[in-house]
Amino acid sequence: MARTIGSNGKETEKRVLKEALTLFAHHGYAAVSMRQIAGQCNIQAGALYNYFPTKQSILHGLMLAHMNDLLSALNAQPKVDDPVSALKSFTQFHIRYHIDKPAEVFIAYMELRNLEPEPYAEIMKLRQEYERFLRGILRQGQANGDFQIDDVPVTTMAIISMMTGVNTWYRYGGRLGVEEIEKIYVNLVLSVVGLEAERLTPKLEEIA
Amino acid sequence: MARTIGSNGKETEKRVLKEALTLFAHHGYAAVSMRQIAGQCNIQAGALYNYFPTKQSILHGLMLAHMNDLLSALNAQPKVDDPVSALKSFTQFHIRYHIDKPAEVFIAYMELRNLEPEPYAEIMKLRQEYERFLRGILRQGQANGDFQIDDVPVTTMAIISMMTGVNTWYRYGGRLGVEEIEKIYVNLVLSVVGLEAERLTPKLEEIA
DNA sequence: GTCTATATTACGATAGAC
DNA sequence: GTCTATCGTAATATAGAC
Protein backbone atom coordinates (compact mmCIF):
# COMPACT_ATOMS: atom_id res chain seq x y z
CA MET A 1 0.00 0.00 0.00
CA ALA A 2 1.14 3.55 -0.61
CA ARG A 3 2.26 5.90 2.07
CA THR A 4 -0.53 6.62 4.52
CA ILE A 5 -1.84 10.16 4.19
CA GLY A 6 -0.15 12.43 6.67
CA SER A 7 2.49 9.90 7.67
CA ASN A 8 5.91 11.30 8.39
CA GLY A 9 9.10 9.41 8.95
CA LYS A 10 10.58 11.57 11.68
CA GLU A 11 7.35 11.62 13.61
CA THR A 12 6.94 7.87 13.34
CA GLU A 13 10.47 7.18 14.50
CA LYS A 14 9.92 9.29 17.62
CA ARG A 15 6.62 7.60 18.20
CA VAL A 16 8.22 4.16 17.97
CA LEU A 17 10.82 5.08 20.56
CA LYS A 18 8.20 6.56 22.85
CA GLU A 19 5.88 3.56 22.69
CA ALA A 20 8.71 1.04 22.93
CA LEU A 21 10.00 2.83 26.02
CA THR A 22 6.64 2.56 27.73
CA LEU A 23 6.15 -1.07 26.77
CA PHE A 24 9.69 -2.12 27.75
CA ALA A 25 9.40 -0.34 31.09
CA HIS A 26 6.10 -2.03 31.76
CA HIS A 27 6.65 -5.59 30.61
CA GLY A 28 10.36 -5.90 29.98
CA TYR A 29 12.20 -5.95 26.67
CA ALA A 30 12.07 -9.71 26.14
CA ALA A 31 8.36 -9.89 26.85
CA VAL A 32 7.42 -7.23 24.31
CA SER A 33 6.96 -8.12 20.63
CA MET A 34 7.54 -6.00 17.57
CA ARG A 35 3.85 -6.44 16.80
CA GLN A 36 2.93 -4.93 20.16
CA ILE A 37 5.15 -1.93 19.57
CA ALA A 38 3.73 -1.45 16.09
CA GLY A 39 0.20 -1.77 17.45
CA GLN A 40 0.78 1.04 19.95
CA CYS A 41 2.08 3.20 17.10
CA ASN A 42 -0.90 2.32 14.88
CA ILE A 43 1.31 0.89 12.18
CA GLN A 44 2.10 -2.62 11.00
CA ALA A 45 5.07 -4.57 12.32
CA GLY A 46 6.90 -4.49 9.00
CA ALA A 47 6.98 -0.69 9.02
CA LEU A 48 9.15 -0.68 12.14
CA TYR A 49 12.01 -1.97 10.04
CA ASN A 50 12.16 1.30 8.11
CA TYR A 51 13.62 2.84 11.25
CA PHE A 52 15.26 0.06 13.20
CA PRO A 53 16.98 -2.93 11.62
CA THR A 54 16.37 -5.12 14.69
CA LYS A 55 14.40 -5.12 17.92
CA GLN A 56 17.72 -4.96 19.74
CA SER A 57 18.54 -1.67 18.03
CA ILE A 58 15.41 -0.08 19.52
CA LEU A 59 16.54 -1.01 23.01
CA HIS A 60 20.04 0.17 22.31
CA GLY A 61 18.73 3.44 20.89
CA LEU A 62 16.64 4.07 23.97
CA MET A 63 19.43 3.34 26.42
CA LEU A 64 22.01 5.34 24.51
CA ALA A 65 19.68 8.33 24.25
CA HIS A 66 19.00 8.10 27.97
CA MET A 67 22.64 7.93 28.99
CA ASN A 68 23.63 10.76 26.68
CA ASP A 69 20.77 12.87 27.95
CA LEU A 70 21.68 12.15 31.56
CA LEU A 71 25.33 13.05 31.05
CA SER A 72 24.49 16.17 29.04
CA ALA A 73 22.13 17.34 31.74
CA LEU A 74 24.78 16.68 34.38
CA ASN A 75 27.41 18.59 32.42
CA ALA A 76 25.00 21.46 31.93
CA GLN A 77 24.75 21.93 35.71
CA PRO A 78 26.57 24.98 37.10
CA LYS A 79 30.06 24.09 38.23
CA VAL A 80 30.68 24.11 41.96
CA ASP A 81 34.10 23.81 43.53
CA ASP A 82 33.28 23.21 47.18
CA PRO A 83 32.67 19.45 47.68
CA VAL A 84 29.79 19.98 50.11
CA SER A 85 27.89 22.18 47.67
CA ALA A 86 28.82 19.88 44.81
CA LEU A 87 27.40 16.89 46.65
CA LYS A 88 24.18 18.74 47.44
CA SER A 89 23.76 19.79 43.81
CA PHE A 90 24.52 16.34 42.53
CA THR A 91 21.97 14.78 44.86
CA GLN A 92 19.28 17.25 43.86
CA PHE A 93 20.09 16.71 40.22
CA HIS A 94 20.02 12.94 40.47
CA ILE A 95 16.77 12.76 42.42
CA ARG A 96 14.97 15.19 40.16
CA TYR A 97 16.18 13.49 37.00
CA HIS A 98 15.26 10.03 38.26
CA ILE A 99 11.82 11.16 39.32
CA ASP A 100 11.22 13.00 36.06
CA LYS A 101 12.21 10.12 33.76
CA PRO A 102 11.12 6.96 35.53
CA ALA A 103 10.72 4.79 32.45
CA GLU A 104 14.11 5.71 30.95
CA VAL A 105 15.88 5.13 34.25
CA PHE A 106 14.06 1.89 34.84
CA ILE A 107 15.00 0.26 31.55
CA ALA A 108 18.53 1.65 31.75
CA TYR A 109 19.30 -0.66 34.61
CA MET A 110 16.74 -3.42 34.17
CA GLU A 111 17.52 -4.21 30.56
CA LEU A 112 21.29 -4.08 30.60
CA ARG A 113 21.52 -7.84 30.36
CA ASN A 114 19.46 -7.86 27.20
CA LEU A 115 22.06 -5.85 25.34
CA GLU A 116 24.50 -7.64 23.10
CA PRO A 117 28.16 -7.40 24.10
CA GLU A 118 29.10 -4.35 22.05
CA PRO A 119 26.16 -2.11 22.95
CA TYR A 120 26.48 -3.34 26.52
CA ALA A 121 30.08 -2.19 26.73
CA GLU A 122 29.15 1.19 25.30
CA ILE A 123 26.35 1.78 27.81
CA MET A 124 28.45 0.57 30.73
CA LYS A 125 31.15 3.04 29.82
CA LEU A 126 28.65 5.88 30.03
CA ARG A 127 27.31 4.61 33.35
CA GLN A 128 30.81 4.53 34.74
CA GLU A 129 31.39 8.05 33.55
CA TYR A 130 28.41 9.12 35.64
CA GLU A 131 29.60 7.20 38.68
CA ARG A 132 33.05 8.70 38.30
CA PHE A 133 31.56 12.15 38.69
CA LEU A 134 30.21 11.34 42.15
CA ARG A 135 33.35 9.45 43.14
CA GLY A 136 35.35 12.57 42.25
CA ILE A 137 33.27 14.70 44.59
CA LEU A 138 33.69 12.18 47.40
CA ARG A 139 37.44 11.96 46.94
CA GLN A 140 37.76 15.72 46.95
CA GLY A 141 35.70 16.07 50.12
CA GLN A 142 37.63 13.27 51.76
CA ALA A 143 40.93 14.88 50.81
CA ASN A 144 40.09 18.30 52.20
CA GLY A 145 38.59 16.85 55.36
CA ASP A 146 34.99 17.85 54.75
CA PHE A 147 33.75 14.27 54.53
CA GLN A 148 34.24 11.23 56.77
CA ILE A 149 34.27 8.20 54.47
CA ASP A 150 35.48 4.67 55.19
CA ASP A 151 35.71 3.61 51.57
CA VAL A 152 35.09 5.90 48.62
CA PRO A 153 34.24 3.30 45.93
CA VAL A 154 31.75 1.50 48.16
CA THR A 155 30.24 4.77 49.37
CA THR A 156 29.86 5.92 45.78
CA MET A 157 27.84 2.85 44.87
CA ALA A 158 25.87 3.02 48.12
CA ILE A 159 24.83 6.63 47.49
CA ILE A 160 23.87 5.96 43.89
CA SER A 161 21.82 2.91 44.87
CA MET A 162 20.13 4.81 47.67
CA MET A 163 19.17 7.67 45.38
CA THR A 164 18.22 5.61 42.36
CA GLY A 165 15.88 3.64 44.60
CA VAL A 166 13.34 6.48 44.43
CA ASN A 167 12.65 5.21 40.95
CA THR A 168 11.08 2.03 42.30
CA TRP A 169 8.68 3.54 44.79
CA TYR A 170 8.10 7.23 44.11
CA ARG A 171 4.91 8.14 42.31
CA TYR A 172 3.54 11.59 41.60
CA GLY A 173 0.54 12.52 43.65
CA GLY A 174 1.71 10.72 46.75
CA ARG A 175 2.29 12.10 50.23
CA LEU A 176 5.44 14.02 49.28
CA GLY A 177 6.29 16.32 46.38
CA VAL A 178 9.53 16.33 44.44
CA GLU A 179 10.99 19.23 46.42
CA GLU A 180 10.39 17.47 49.71
CA ILE A 181 11.92 14.25 48.43
CA GLU A 182 14.93 16.23 47.24
CA LYS A 183 15.41 17.82 50.64
CA ILE A 184 15.14 14.50 52.43
CA TYR A 185 17.67 12.87 50.13
CA VAL A 186 20.12 15.76 50.40
CA ASN A 187 20.07 15.23 54.15
CA LEU A 188 20.44 11.48 53.77
CA VAL A 189 23.44 11.87 51.48
CA LEU A 190 25.08 14.48 53.68
CA SER A 191 24.69 12.14 56.64
CA VAL A 192 26.29 9.31 54.70
CA VAL A 193 29.48 11.33 54.25
CA GLY A 194 29.53 12.19 57.93
CA LEU A 195 28.07 15.68 57.85
CA GLU A 196 25.50 16.76 60.34
CA ALA A 197 22.36 17.55 58.38
CA GLU A 198 20.01 20.34 59.38
CA ARG A 199 16.88 18.52 60.41
CA LEU A 200 13.85 19.47 58.38
CA THR A 201 11.30 21.26 60.52
CA PRO A 202 8.50 20.78 60.88
CA LYS A 203 9.09 17.12 60.25
CA LEU A 204 7.65 16.18 56.89
CA GLU A 205 5.76 13.27 58.31
CA GLU A 206 3.81 15.67 60.49
CA ILE A 207 2.68 17.81 57.59
CA ALA A 208 1.04 14.94 55.81
CA MET B 1 9.92 -44.13 26.97
CA ALA B 2 10.16 -45.72 30.41
CA ARG B 3 11.58 -44.01 33.42
CA THR B 4 15.25 -43.26 33.00
CA ILE B 5 17.40 -45.45 35.22
CA GLY B 6 18.26 -43.67 38.43
CA SER B 7 15.82 -40.84 37.87
CA ASN B 8 14.17 -39.47 40.97
CA GLY B 9 11.32 -37.04 41.15
CA LYS B 10 12.38 -35.08 44.20
CA GLU B 11 15.91 -34.68 42.91
CA THR B 12 14.71 -33.58 39.51
CA GLU B 13 12.36 -30.99 40.96
CA LYS B 14 15.18 -29.44 42.97
CA ARG B 15 17.42 -29.52 39.96
CA VAL B 16 14.82 -27.72 37.86
CA LEU B 17 14.51 -24.94 40.42
CA LYS B 18 18.25 -24.60 40.70
CA GLU B 19 18.87 -24.42 36.96
CA ALA B 20 15.90 -22.15 36.34
CA LEU B 21 17.19 -19.80 39.03
CA THR B 22 20.58 -19.52 37.36
CA LEU B 23 19.11 -19.04 33.91
CA PHE B 24 16.52 -16.48 35.01
CA ALA B 25 19.14 -14.52 36.91
CA HIS B 26 21.43 -14.52 33.91
CA HIS B 27 19.11 -13.85 31.00
CA GLY B 28 15.80 -12.85 32.53
CA TYR B 29 12.63 -14.88 32.89
CA ALA B 30 11.08 -13.87 29.58
CA ALA B 31 14.24 -14.61 27.63
CA VAL B 32 14.61 -18.17 28.94
CA SER B 33 12.70 -21.05 27.36
CA MET B 34 11.44 -24.24 28.90
CA ARG B 35 13.74 -26.10 26.51
CA GLN B 36 16.74 -24.26 27.89
CA ILE B 37 15.80 -25.11 31.45
CA ALA B 38 15.23 -28.74 30.52
CA GLY B 39 18.54 -28.82 28.66
CA GLN B 40 20.43 -27.65 31.75
CA CYS B 41 18.74 -30.41 33.74
CA ASN B 42 19.52 -33.03 31.08
CA ILE B 43 15.88 -33.87 30.57
CA GLN B 44 13.38 -33.11 27.82
CA ALA B 45 11.09 -30.10 27.93
CA GLY B 46 7.96 -32.20 28.38
CA ALA B 47 9.27 -33.70 31.59
CA LEU B 48 9.25 -30.30 33.28
CA TYR B 49 5.47 -30.43 33.29
CA ASN B 50 5.54 -33.28 35.77
CA TYR B 51 6.64 -30.74 38.36
CA PHE B 52 5.38 -27.38 37.21
CA PRO B 53 2.17 -26.83 35.29
CA THR B 54 3.46 -23.63 33.68
CA LYS B 55 6.67 -21.69 33.23
CA GLN B 56 5.11 -18.97 35.37
CA SER B 57 4.78 -21.41 38.27
CA ILE B 58 8.55 -21.99 38.25
CA LEU B 59 9.16 -18.28 38.64
CA HIS B 60 6.53 -18.01 41.32
CA GLY B 61 7.99 -20.99 43.16
CA LEU B 62 11.45 -19.46 43.13
CA MET B 63 10.32 -16.09 44.35
CA LEU B 64 8.08 -17.49 47.04
CA ALA B 65 10.83 -19.78 48.31
CA HIS B 66 13.21 -16.84 48.41
CA MET B 67 10.88 -14.55 50.31
CA ASN B 68 9.96 -17.24 52.81
CA ASP B 69 13.60 -18.10 53.30
CA LEU B 70 14.50 -14.46 53.79
CA LEU B 71 11.76 -13.87 56.35
CA SER B 72 12.51 -17.11 58.21
CA ALA B 73 16.16 -16.20 58.42
CA LEU B 74 15.25 -12.75 59.68
CA ASN B 75 12.92 -14.16 62.31
CA ALA B 76 15.58 -16.64 63.40
CA GLN B 77 17.90 -13.77 64.30
CA PRO B 78 18.36 -13.13 68.02
CA LYS B 79 15.93 -10.51 69.27
CA VAL B 80 17.41 -7.17 70.24
CA ASP B 81 15.49 -4.43 72.03
CA ASP B 82 17.78 -1.48 71.72
CA PRO B 83 17.12 0.22 68.36
CA VAL B 84 20.79 0.98 67.72
CA SER B 85 21.81 -2.65 68.16
CA ALA B 86 18.77 -3.79 66.24
CA LEU B 87 19.69 -1.58 63.31
CA LYS B 88 23.27 -2.85 63.31
CA SER B 89 22.11 -6.47 63.35
CA PHE B 90 19.58 -5.89 60.65
CA THR B 91 22.17 -4.27 58.42
CA GLN B 92 24.64 -7.09 58.92
CA PHE B 93 21.93 -9.62 58.28
CA HIS B 94 20.72 -7.94 55.12
CA ILE B 95 24.17 -7.45 53.63
CA ARG B 96 25.28 -10.97 54.33
CA TYR B 97 22.09 -12.49 53.01
CA HIS B 98 22.17 -10.39 49.86
CA ILE B 99 25.79 -11.24 49.19
CA ASP B 100 25.24 -14.94 49.87
CA LYS B 101 22.22 -15.36 47.58
CA PRO B 102 22.81 -13.03 44.67
CA ALA B 103 20.71 -14.91 42.12
CA GLU B 104 17.67 -15.26 44.38
CA VAL B 105 17.82 -11.60 45.38
CA PHE B 106 18.33 -10.50 41.82
CA ILE B 107 15.30 -12.24 40.37
CA ALA B 108 13.19 -11.29 43.39
CA TYR B 109 13.23 -7.70 42.32
CA MET B 110 13.98 -7.93 38.62
CA GLU B 111 11.21 -10.33 37.73
CA LEU B 112 8.38 -8.92 39.81
CA ARG B 113 6.73 -7.51 36.71
CA ASN B 114 6.64 -10.94 35.10
CA LEU B 115 4.40 -12.31 37.81
CA GLU B 116 0.70 -12.51 37.16
CA PRO B 117 -1.51 -10.40 39.43
CA GLU B 118 -2.21 -12.98 42.11
CA PRO B 119 1.35 -14.25 42.64
CA TYR B 120 2.51 -10.66 42.38
CA ALA B 121 0.28 -9.58 45.24
CA GLU B 122 1.47 -12.48 47.35
CA ILE B 123 5.16 -11.68 46.85
CA MET B 124 4.64 -7.97 47.41
CA LYS B 125 2.97 -8.69 50.72
CA LEU B 126 6.04 -10.60 51.87
CA ARG B 127 8.34 -7.84 50.68
CA GLN B 128 6.34 -5.33 52.65
CA GLU B 129 6.57 -7.50 55.72
CA TYR B 130 10.33 -7.31 55.43
CA GLU B 131 10.29 -3.55 54.95
CA ARG B 132 7.99 -3.17 57.93
CA PHE B 133 10.60 -4.78 60.13
CA LEU B 134 13.14 -2.08 59.33
CA ARG B 135 10.54 0.66 59.53
CA GLY B 136 9.69 -0.56 63.04
CA ILE B 137 13.29 -0.22 64.15
CA LEU B 138 13.51 3.27 62.71
CA ARG B 139 10.29 4.38 64.41
CA GLN B 140 11.44 3.01 67.73
CA GLY B 141 14.80 4.75 67.47
CA GLN B 142 13.14 7.96 66.42
CA ALA B 143 10.69 7.76 69.32
CA ASN B 144 13.32 7.24 71.99
CA GLY B 145 15.59 9.92 70.53
CA ASP B 146 18.41 7.63 69.39
CA PHE B 147 17.92 8.45 65.72
CA GLN B 148 17.57 11.70 63.81
CA ILE B 149 15.25 11.00 60.91
CA ASP B 150 13.37 13.45 58.71
CA ASP B 151 10.94 10.92 57.31
CA VAL B 152 10.72 7.31 58.42
CA PRO B 153 9.03 5.78 55.35
CA VAL B 154 11.43 7.43 52.92
CA THR B 155 14.43 6.60 55.08
CA THR B 156 13.29 2.97 55.24
CA MET B 157 13.23 2.69 51.47
CA ALA B 158 16.50 4.62 51.14
CA ILE B 159 18.31 2.27 53.51
CA ILE B 160 16.93 -0.84 51.84
CA SER B 161 17.90 0.44 48.38
CA MET B 162 21.36 1.37 49.57
CA MET B 163 21.98 -2.04 51.09
CA THR B 164 20.38 -4.09 48.35
CA GLY B 165 22.62 -2.29 45.87
CA VAL B 166 25.54 -4.51 46.90
CA ASN B 167 23.80 -7.18 44.89
CA THR B 168 24.53 -5.36 41.64
CA TRP B 169 28.22 -4.74 42.09
CA TYR B 170 29.71 -7.02 44.78
CA ARG B 171 31.56 -10.09 43.57
CA TYR B 172 33.51 -12.57 45.63
CA GLY B 173 37.23 -12.34 45.18
CA GLY B 174 37.26 -8.59 44.80
CA ARG B 175 39.12 -6.01 46.85
CA LEU B 176 36.92 -6.40 49.94
CA GLY B 177 35.62 -9.43 51.82
CA VAL B 178 32.13 -9.86 53.20
CA GLU B 179 33.11 -8.80 56.72
CA GLU B 180 34.60 -5.57 55.48
CA ILE B 181 31.58 -4.79 53.37
CA GLU B 182 29.38 -5.47 56.39
CA LYS B 183 31.34 -3.06 58.54
CA ILE B 184 31.26 -0.34 55.92
CA TYR B 185 27.51 -0.69 55.49
CA VAL B 186 26.84 -0.69 59.22
CA ASN B 187 28.62 2.64 59.37
CA LEU B 188 26.75 3.95 56.37
CA VAL B 189 23.40 3.00 57.86
CA LEU B 190 24.23 4.42 61.28
CA SER B 191 25.21 7.67 59.60
CA VAL B 192 21.91 7.78 57.74
CA VAL B 193 19.97 7.79 61.01
CA GLY B 194 22.17 10.55 62.38
CA LEU B 195 24.53 8.54 64.53
CA GLU B 196 28.21 9.26 64.51
CA ALA B 197 29.92 6.13 63.23
CA GLU B 198 33.28 5.00 64.51
CA ARG B 199 35.54 5.42 61.54
CA LEU B 200 37.19 2.20 60.42
CA THR B 201 40.94 2.37 60.96
CA PRO B 202 43.12 1.85 59.13
CA LYS B 203 40.98 2.96 56.25
CA LEU B 204 39.99 -0.04 54.18
CA GLU B 205 41.10 1.61 51.00
CA GLU B 206 44.62 1.76 52.33
CA ILE B 207 44.82 -1.94 53.09
CA ALA B 208 44.10 -2.94 49.53
C1' DG C 1 9.09 -40.24 35.51
C1' DT C 2 10.78 -39.45 31.14
C1' DC C 3 10.61 -40.01 26.47
C1' DT C 4 9.16 -38.69 21.43
C1' DA C 5 6.10 -36.37 18.73
C1' DT C 6 3.14 -32.82 17.86
C1' DA C 7 -0.70 -29.20 18.23
C1' DT C 8 -1.02 -24.47 18.23
C1' DT C 9 0.47 -20.09 18.46
C1' DA C 10 3.65 -16.45 18.15
C1' DC C 11 8.06 -14.61 17.21
C1' DG C 12 11.65 -11.55 14.37
C1' DA C 13 12.46 -10.32 10.04
C1' DT C 14 11.84 -9.89 4.80
C1' DA C 15 9.62 -9.19 0.01
C1' DG C 16 7.15 -6.74 -3.00
C1' DA C 17 2.98 -3.93 -4.07
C1' DC C 18 1.53 0.83 -3.99
C1' DG D 1 6.70 5.19 4.21
C1' DT D 2 3.42 1.82 5.03
C1' DC D 3 0.89 -1.94 3.66
C1' DT D 4 -0.19 -7.19 3.20
C1' DA D 5 1.60 -11.55 3.09
C1' DT D 6 4.76 -14.81 4.34
C1' DC D 7 9.22 -17.33 5.47
C1' DG D 8 11.53 -19.83 8.84
C1' DT D 9 11.98 -20.66 13.46
C1' DA D 10 10.87 -21.35 18.18
C1' DA D 11 7.73 -20.77 21.88
C1' DT D 12 4.42 -23.15 25.64
C1' DA D 13 2.05 -26.90 26.48
C1' DT D 14 -0.11 -31.60 25.65
C1' DA D 15 -0.71 -36.70 24.30
C1' DG D 16 0.46 -41.15 24.54
C1' DA D 17 4.14 -44.76 24.51
C1' DC D 18 7.10 -47.25 27.72
Structural domain boundaries enclosing A64: 55-207
Residues B115, B48 share a domain: no
Interface of A with B in 164-203 (CB under 8 A): 164-166, 168-169, 175-176, 181, 183-185, 187-188, 191-194, 196-197, 199-200, 203
Residues B121, B45 share a domain: no
User: Which residues does chain B have within 8 Å of residue A26's beta carbon, measured at their own beta carbons?
Assistant: 113
10 Å CB burial of residue A36 (0-12, 13-18, 19+) is middle
Residues B122, B75 share a domain: yes
C-alpha to C-alpha distance for A120 and A138, rounded to whole angstroms: 27
CATH of the domain at A10: 1.10.10.60
Q: What digits encode the pLDDT tens for the residues A157-201?
A: 999 999 999 999 999 999 999 999 999 999 999 999 999 888 887
C-alpha to C-alpha distance for A103 and A30, rounded to whole angstroms: 16
Tell me the pLDDT band of B171, cut-offs 50, 70 and 90. Answer: very high
Distance B115 CA to D18 C1' (A): 36
Q: Is residue B195 within 8 Å of B146, Cβ to Cβ?
A: yes
Q: What percent of chain A is predicted at pLDDT more than 90?
A: 89
10 Å CB burial of residue A13 (0-12, 13-18, 19+) is middle
Residues A164, A87 share a domain: yes
Nearest nucleotide to B15 (CA to C1') is C1
Residues B120, B29 share a domain: no
C-alpha to C-alpha distance for A48 and A111, rounded to whole angstroms: 21
pTM: 0.95
Tell me the pLDDT band of A40, cut-offs 50, 70 and 90. Answer: very high
- Nearest Cα to A13, choosing from A64, A53, A62, A51? A51
Residues A163, A93 share a domain: yes
Residues B80, B43 share a domain: no
C-alpha to C-alpha distance for B176 and A20, rounded to whole angstroms: 40
Residues B48, B110 share a domain: no
Question: How far A200 CA lies from chain B's nearest CA (Å)?
Answer: 6
**Is any Cβ of chain B less than 8 angstroms from the Cβ of A114?**
yes
**Out of B158, B184, B203, whose CB is closest to A165?**
B158
B154–A181 CB contact, under 8 Å = yes
Give residues 107-146 of chain B lying near strand D (Cβ < 7 A). Answer: none
Nearest residue in B to A162, CA atom: B162
- The larger pLDDT score, comparing residue A16 to residue A200, is at A16
Question: How far A137 CA lies from chain B's nearest CA (Å)?
Answer: 17
Residues B178, B100 share a domain: yes
Mean pLDDT of A51-58: 98
CATH of the domain at B67: 1.10.357.10
Last residue of a domain, one of A36, A53, A70: A53
**Residue B81 pLDDT greater than 90, yes or no:** yes
Residues B80, B9 share a domain: no
Cα separations in angstroms, A93 against A66, A97, A134, B159: 15, 6, 12, 20
**Residue A204 pLDDT greater than 70, yes or no:** no
Q: How many domains does chain B have?
A: 2
Residues B113, B69 share a domain: yes
Cα separations in angstroms, A138 against A95, A159, A161, A183, B119: 18, 10, 15, 19, 42
Q: What digits encode the pLDDT tens for the residues B97-114?
A: 999 999 999 999 999 999
Residues A106, A33 share a domain: no
